[in-house]
Structure 1
């Protein structure tokens, strides 16, 4: 049986972090289709306008226009159940709790790596 193509929305304002995340996703086996959004507002639009649901959303915390907390709340407000994993260099318990309260399913710290993404993909049965 062929492996399902995995569609990921990568929400990150820093280009270098998007490059690292794309490479790590590919290495972990989860980067078949990676759409990008440079801020939360664009992420909400991409989720709303997607022809098919994403399998995973990787959501940065601090971005211009709309931050990751608000974008996560809005995506959940649309009834979307796609796993959202918060990604931030701020790993303090209060930061993690704020993302989970906003509707994120999990949290991982930057920088993203093949190993971290492998765990995430396995957790959500995408690997």
Structure 2
């Protein structure tokens, strides 16, 4: 089966979480660009919209330096980007999920990211 390449932006400030997510995404057959904070994510998305081809999926943490996941999500949506954004956070109270949804996220999954969770996310958004 010939699968198209899925482009994912992983937004995570903690190195250990990026290492784990990178391995999980690779195991799921997905390559990811990485951003260490929300401001970097907004910049990368803007560059892609400007000619580098849009991402198919954005996975973002909540608490990061420079710009958090909520604000990054709001700014990405303000650019008119409709790419699915999934919050991946250890802060998973209903109020945390609602705050991400209000910012423009399409879904939420609690950390840690697993191959099964990635498979579910890809299926949900028609990427698998």
Calculate the TM-score normalised by the size of structure 2. 0.95
CA RMSD of aligned residues (A): 0.9
> In structure 2, what is the equivalent of residue 118 of structure 1?
119
Aligned residues between the structures: 125
> In structure 2, what is the equivalent of residue 43 of structure 1?
41
Flag structure 1 segments of 5+ consecutive residues without an equivalent. Answer: none
1:97 aligns with 2:98: yes
* 3-state SS of paired residue (2:88): strand
* 3-state SS of paired residue (1:112): coil
- Aligned structure 1 segments of 4 or more residues deviating by more than 3 angstroms: none
Calculate the TM-score normalised by the size of structure 1. 0.96
1:59 aligns with 2:60: yes
Q: Distance in 2 between matches of 1:12 and 1:109?
A: 13
Residue 125 (structure 1) shift: 1.0
* 3-state SS of paired residue (2:20): helix
